[in-house]
Amino acid sequence: MGTASKRVTINDVARTVGVSRQTVSRALNDKGEIDVGTKQRVLDAARELGYRPSRFARGLVRQDTTTIGLVIPDLLNPFFTEVAAGALEAARARGWHVIVYDTAGSADEERGTLEVVVSQVDAVVGYFSLAEADLDAHLSGMPAVLIGREHQTPRFSSIRVEGAAGVREAVDHLVSKGHREIGMLDHAGRSEPSIRRAWFTDAMNAHGLAADAVGNALQSVDGGTEALTGLLTEHPELTAVFTFNDIIAIGALRAARRLGRVVPDDLAVVGFDGLQLGTVVDPALTSVALDTRRVGALAIEQAGRLLTGSTPLPSEELLVNAVLLVRESA
């Protein structure tokens, strides 16, 4: 008995019970127009046979199941995890499903992922490194929402982070505590300086301070440690430092301790992102926090709108403001 393979279909169930497919369908989907007795018999038989409806056949006839692809560079990076959690939550609230793809930060992997994504989901959301033309070529018209990066063509939507005010808050906070020599650890990835650095420069200038003590850090804890060590040898006068993100800031924290600088008394540290991770280090990280959950949620929301053809959210609403979150490190 029970040799192997060959899927159990709705017809098999119907046959063993002695009714039609439609009756089985009615029983399984809780529709009316069915006798309670037969319904029970159908349910029992279905269980007995180990019948599970084909999601393909079902999806083909009813158009209601939507699946969204979430593309992130690295699941082990807590920043992306927080965004992912927000996206998952928002999707669940709508009854949607999320397939997660980790591109490992590689452009090739990303291309390969897109190739696959196209045939598996209804819309895609996430962090991409490819140029828009390249993306468009691989996506063949599928709705896509870019996160953490501004879209250039109307082909795409994007969730943007507005941090000028938050960074301004941070600098204000530092200045009000008497800091004048404030440095920054920018990221070392791209060739041009980041927008966050521009925000920092503006905030500093508003106080009549120069923002010229800037180091570059690789996007890792070790990168932050190394970069701050370098920056402090070059600029020993610094009493505070603002970093591109929390990961780098945590590395900076470690460097400070190793150099014998007590945080926040000898050196204040302010990160960016406001990750929960910042609460596990000691002292807890002060940071320009953005609502990562909301980032993920907005992306899902917009993907849904693009999907259903309803009016998409305007650019102004696809914005997440960052605000200063004072903990212990500054």
Partner DNA sequence: GAGGTGTCCGTGAACGTTCACGGGAGCGTT
Partner DNA sequence: AACGCTCCCGTGAACGTTCACGGACACCTC
Residue 147 touches a copy of itself, criterion: CB under 8 A: no
Residue 233 phi/psi, 5° resolution?
-75, -35
Instruction: State the binding partner of 116 from a copy of itself, DNA, none, CB within 5 to 8 A by kind.
Output: a copy of itself
Instruction: State the binding partner of 20 from a copy of itself, DNA, none, CB within 5 to 8 A by kind.
Output: DNA
Residue 54 touches a copy of itself, criterion: CB under 8 A: yes
Residue 277 touches a copy of itself, criterion: CB under 8 A: yes
Instruction: Tell me how far, at minimum, the Cβ of 309 lies from a copy of itself, in Å.
Output: 6
Residues that bind DNA (CB under 7 A): 7, 9-11, 18-23, 25, 28-29, 31-39, 51-54, 56-58, 60-62
Residue 2 touches a copy of itself, criterion: CB under 8 A: no
Stretch that binds a copy of itself, among 9-17, 18-26, 84-92, 204-212 (CB under 8 A): 84-92
Residue 286: strand pairing partners: 270
Residue 105 touches a copy of itself, criterion: CB under 8 A: no
Instruction: Tell me how far, at minimum, the Cβ of 277 lies from DNA, in Å.
Output: 44
Whichever of 119 and 233 has its CB closer to DNA, that residue is 119
Helices (H), ranges, the chain: 10-17, 21-28, 36-49, 55-61, 78-94, 107-117, 132-139, 164-176, 195-206, 221-234, 246-258, 292-308
Q: Is there a contact between 263 and 256 (Cβ–Cβ < 8 Å)?
A: yes
CA distances from 142 to 134, 149, 151 (A): 13, 18, 15
Instruction: Tell me how far, at minimum, the Cβ of 50 lies from DNA, in Å.
Output: 11
Give, rounded to a whole angstrom, the gap between the first and last alpha carbons of the chain. 71
Instruction: Tell me how far, at minimum, the Cβ of 171 lies from a copy of itself, in Å.
Output: 26
What span, in angstroms and rounded, lies between the C-alpha atoms of 220 and 226?
10
Helices (H), ranges, 235-311: 246-258, 292-308
Instruction: Tell me how far, at minimum, the Cβ of 46 lies from DNA, in Å.
Output: 10
Length of the chain: 330
Instruction: Tell me how far, at minimum, the Cβ of 282 lies from a copy of itself, in Å.
Output: 5
CA-based torsion, 15, 20, 22, 27: positive or negative? negative
Residue 258: strand pairing partners: none
In this chain, which of 32, 208, 236, 309 binds a copy of itself, going by CB under 8 A?
309
What span, in angstroms and rounded, lies between the C-alpha atoms of 135 and 124?
11
Whichever of 28 and 99 has its CB closer to DNA, that residue is 28
How many other β-carbons are positioned within 10 Å of the β-carbon of residue 310?
9
Residue 89 touches a copy of itself, criterion: CB under 8 A: yes
Instruction: Tell me how far, at minimum, the Cβ of 125 lies from DNA, in Å.
Output: 23
Residue 291 touches a copy of itself, criterion: CB under 8 A: no
Residue 37: strand pairing partners: none
What span, in angstroms and rounded, lies between the C-alpha atoms of 303 and 229?
43
Whichever of 101 and 200 has its CB closer to a copy of itself, that residue is 101
Tokens in use for 20?
Answer: 């039609």
In this chain, which of 266, 280, 315, 317 binds a copy of itself, going by CB under 8 A?
280
Which residues are at the interface with a copy of itself (CB under 8 A)? 4-5, 46-47, 50-60, 65, 67, 75-76, 78, 81-82, 84-85, 88-89, 92, 95, 97-102, 116, 118-121, 140-142, 221, 250, 253-254, 257, 276-277, 279-282, 309
